[in-house]
Structure 1
Amino acid sequence: MRPASGFEIVAARLWNVLNEGKSFHPVFVLGTFLLLHAGELAGAGFWGRALPALALAAPLVALFVVYDFPLRLRWALWAFLAAFVLLFRFADLAAAALALGLYVFFTVFFWGTLYYHLRTGAPWTNFLRFWRLVLENPDSTSGNFLEQVPKALLALFVLEYLVAEPPALGRAAPVLGFIAAVGAASHLVHERFFDWRPVYPEGPTREVNRGEPLARRVIVVVIDGCRLDRFREARKPYIERMMRRGTVYETVETVYPARTVVCFSSMLTGAPPERHGITSNLVLRLGLRVESVFDALRRAGKSGRLVGIAHLIDAFGDDVASVTSVAHNDKIDRNLIARARRELEERDPDLLVLQLLAVDQNGHVRGTYYPEYVEQIETTDRLVEEFMGWCEERGYLEGAAVILMADHGQGRGIGAHGHLSEGERFVPFAMWGSGVGEGRVVKEPRSILDLAPTICYLLGVEPPAGSSGRVLKEGLTR
């Protein structure tokens, strides 16, 4: 139950620089370029060619930071790469070989084997499965082979073409013209074909409970990274029993990009990413731009706590009771639950949000289409039952409403989530207990933005300023 240390918080932020695709791309391109010319770095002649080349290639690198090319749009990147080779009759095989070698080493061996072994206890042989997961991965991370590799190769080919010795006259103008054409094509591709982003509720939250609270306490259990279809497949007798006693929402949609810190920020503010300001797990500007449910509770003289791992601190600061994520995957959820018990005993909060991480980590390390993923959901069911039994024994469920959900699902590959591929978009969502109707099933589409205003309605407080989510009144008794 160790809290995340200061070192772990900083390390998590540094890791996200390499984990998130937008930040990985410039770091990887620059690092590979310098390694290609390691023997020339001390020479002034090299830098006389390299600095102009870096300046000319910078717009292309920036373009690939702005545009993700998610899912089926990735093939445009390979078309751009082929167009450069054909138009300029140039391909640097040494750059390609080094880039592919470094990429495979980083994703398959460093990330998929060493990192996950040290952090979660994954087997040393994990690379035997992980290489296949990287090849089919569709998310917004650096592990997305079909997005990151063509981006890197094109940027490196441009750099090597420009830095050639002796430099060919007139190369700068054609390259800039090519980059401009890639920029225009990228804009058109995204405008016309990027059409699967969620539609969020608009306008401020209008439903406010100005009467008596429906619940004395709200406990939210978030099974991080739980696919809805695999959740339905799993044997989970306790959760299913409680779902029958409450209300189940069958079509609850996550946000874009479907990254953990982004999703938690939307869940607990009621605001879309564009409004709360958290748009990836790499948080460059710490804190939220809008109020959270914890702020709303403080205004009303109530309290809330979020029990989770270090990277949630970047958005929620001191409202997070952190637990180190450096733990074997069969221990991490027990550690988080132990911290949740401690928060209830020491602080007795009106709202407790508990992040359970093992399902998400299992998907990342071993893939979501393997039996281990469903088995981990089944293990989570037993842990939730134990935790709720403990809460009931000590009176924490008296007058309490319980909400069970996921922040996002997971797709193919390395537990992919970000670009809303199949398996990511819709999440499990159910609630039961005080103020919740029994035996109800709601099929109409809802959003994870609806969590914050629903919590506030149950507790009888004003929703967070900036919330546009809708109270899930179909599942409430009034």
Structure 2
Amino acid sequence: MKKASSFEIVAARCWNLLNEGKPFTPIFVVGAFLLYRANQWGDIDFWRSAGLGLLLLLPLLAIYYRYDFPLFMRNYLWLPLVAALLIWEPGPLALYLFALGLFYFFTVYFWGTFYYHLRIGTSWWNFKRFWKLVLKNSDSTSGNAQEQMPKFLLLLLVWNHFYASFAEDGIGDWADRAWPLGAFALGLWLYSFILHANLFDWKPAENAPPTNNAVVPDKAPNDKVIVIVIDGMRKERFEEADAPFLKKLRAEGTEYAQMETVYPARTVVCFSSMFTGTYPREHGIKSNMVWKLGIKVESIFDSLRKVGKKGRLLGIAHLIDSMGDDVESVTAVMHNDVADRNIIERAKKIMSEQNPDLLVAQLIGVDQTGHSQGVLYDEYLQKIKEADRLVEQFVGWLEQRGMMSNTTLIVCADHGQADGIGGHGHLDEGERYVPFFLHGHAIRRGHRVDEKTSLISMAPTLAYLLGAPYPSHSRGPVLVEALQPHLRELS
């Protein structure tokens, strides 16, 4: 299986500019405005007037970059648009119809059909379902129509007003014309601040103390740990799926029934928290769009190096942005029906050739199916079924080679998925709690933990099992409830 090429790594970062909602909004507004007036590009006065209007628009762009308006808070985005319509002339209806058409062309056809067909092999008819997913999506991406539409319509209205004003009357008394915008921007900021301060209250608490509930044992309980992360596997859909092997592992091991992901529940954020043991505010990765490459703190891979051990993370290109050289990248440009199979074959190769003490493998088929075709359809359950068979095959292969004799196997998801285009980010229904269970000789059999726990406990638990120091900023407690009694060395 091919590694992700340098081109794919750069392309993935560029795509995130259009995929993540925060950078998409200004890019789309500028693009829509300029394309609508493409016939005026040769006129220097057009660029002067458009540039001055864009300059005045910057405070509004900054406010909408700062505030997401997640989940039900999207409904409050329409009130500023109504206020703007009362203050300024709306301008040409054709501009807004063009922008709406361009938005749906980009999300429903270019992204939901053309892009997914070329990258993972979805049907050319995927747009027939994808438009519904865009309307239902609550994710923090460009495909969140209910958040993006009121934002870009308001921004285009204000920009077009000042563009027309400068084009007709010149700069002149621009300050007199602009003061209503200053008052509006101040009101929009205050409105956004008050809404987020009073209504945005569903983020998981970030108050875990530094890891200290278990002493790292002198002798590591395990020789190896294998972590299988089934990206984007929604918890109750896993319960509905035909996945006998995974459910057998869970029944024979220890399950954490209320394992909570972090906020925002984006893949690179979740992986960074899982393998550093801390929150985004400390490790510095706050979305899939990573502006400054690399985590700011130690990871479990750093901890293992301190005791002469080795860990590898097998995943797609965007994990390199946070974990760097600890990632064995795989190309994400392949048909979704073979993606996980190829990843498992690559995992076998890593175990054969490198024999790491810790292997983390990211299976991507479930997540990609949710994003391209939705989580409430049969295709999503089918991908969970396929993941189950592949994990069974991989574990059997490891057992044949004697690699499971003193090994703990951890199976989990990094986040769930909501309705719409496999939404995950804002912790809508289906995102927050993830499947998580451990299996092996060191793990209690038939045990279930119902207390709420967090994925930040992954890193310190791995350190404990492999006899390594906890990562420098690890805050999650070791999952000692899962360990056999003689392996718990509580402080």
* Structure 2: distance between partners of 1:467 and 1:42: 57
Counterpart-to-counterpart distance in 2, 1:197 and 1:128: 34
How big is each residue's C-alpha offset from its partner over 1:321-380, in whole Å with a ceiling of 9 and x where there is no partner? 111111111100011111111111111100000000000011011100111111211111
Query: Identity of paired residues, percent?
Result: 52
Q: C-alpha separation between the residues in 1 aligned to 2:92 and 2:81? A: 12
Residue-by-residue CA offset, 1:128-152 (whole Å, 9 max, x unaligned): 0000000110000100000111111
Deviations 1:251-282 (A, max 9, x none): 00111111000000000000101110001111
Counterpart contact for 1:220–1:402, Cα < 8 Å: yes
From 184, 200, 206, the equivalent of 1:200 is 206
Q: CA deviation at 1:167?
A: 4.1
SS of alignment partner, residue 423 of structure 2:
coil
Summarize deviations over 1:73-96 as a string: whole Å, max 9, x none: 111111111111123242541221
Deviations 1:428-475, CA, capped at 9 Å, x for gaps:
000010311111000000001010000111111111001111111111
* 3-state SS of 2:105 partner: helix
- What does 1:283-432 correspond to in 2, within 5 Å? 283-432=290-439
Provide Cα deviations, 1:56-112, integer angstroms capped at 9, x if missing partner.
Answer: 101101111111000011111111111111232425412211110110010000000
TM-score by length of 1: 0.98
Question: Quick check: 2:273–2:279 contact (8 Å CA) kept in 1?
Answer: yes
In the alignment, which residue of structure 2 is the partner of 1:71?
A: 71
AA at the equivalent of 1:471: V
1:294 CA drift (Å): 0.2
Letter in 2 for 1:120: I
Indicate which of 245, 254, 269 corresponds to 1:238.
245
SS at match of 2:168: coil
Map 1:265-284 onto structure 2 (within 5 A). Answer: 265-284=272-291
C-alpha displacement of 1:125:
0.2
SS in 2 for 1:397: coil
CA RMSD of aligned residues (A): 1.1
Following TM superposition, the consecutive aligned residue runs of length 4 or more in structure 1 with deviations greater than 4 angstroms are none
Q: Note if 1:178 corresponds to 2:184.
A: yes
CA contact (8 A) 2:233 2:434 kept: yes
Give the 3 Å change call, closer, same or farther, for CA 472–107 of structure 1 in structure 2.
same
1:460 aligns with 2:467: yes
- Deviation of 1:51 (Å): 1.9
2:229 is paired with a residue whose SS is strand
Deviation of 1:201 (Å): 4.4
Structure 1 unaligned segments of length 5 or more: list them: none
- The answer to whether residue 190 in structure 2 is matched with residue 188 in structure 1 is no
CA distance in 2 between counterparts of 1:68 and 1:92 reads 28
Q: Are the aligned partners of 1:321 and 1:339 in contact in 2 as well (CA < 8 Å)?
A: no
Counterpart of 1:154 in structure 2: which amino acid? L
Following TM superposition, by how much is the alpha carbon of 1:235 offset from its aligned partner in structure 2, in angstroms?
Answer: 1.9
Task: Note the C-alpha offset of 1:391.
Answer: 0.6
CA distance in 2 between partners of 1:44 and 1:291 (Å): 52
Between the aligned partners of 1:437 and 1:146, the Cα distance in structure 2 is 46
Conserved 8 A contact 1:223-1:356: yes
Please say if 1:259 is aligned against 2:261.
Answer: no
Preserved contact between residue 218 and residue 403 of structure 1 (Cα < 8 Å) = yes
SS state of the match for residue 444, structure 1?
A: strand
Runs of 5+ consecutive residues of structure 2 not aligned to the other structure: none
Partner of 1:80: 80
Aligned to 1:129: 129
Please, what TM-score do these two structures have when normalized by structure 2?
Answer: 0.96
The residue type paired with residue 108 of structure 1 is V
- C-alpha distance in structure 2 between counterparts of 1:172 and 1:95, whole Å: 22
- Secondary structure of 1:53's counterpart equals helix
Distance in 2 separating the partners of 1:25 and 1:223: 30
- The answer to whether structure 1 residue 113 and structure 2 residue 119 are counterparts is no
Q: Would the aligned equivalents of 1:208 and 1:461 in 2 still touch at CA under 8 Å?
A: no
- CA offsets 1:192-235 (integer angstroms, 9 cap, x no match): 00000011342211133132211110000000000001011112
May I ask how many residue pairs the two structures share in their alignment? 478
Secondary structure of the 2:438 match is strand
Quote the Cα distance in structure 2 between the aligned partners of 1:4 and 1:285. Answer: 20
Q: Which amino acid aligns with 1:250?
A: A
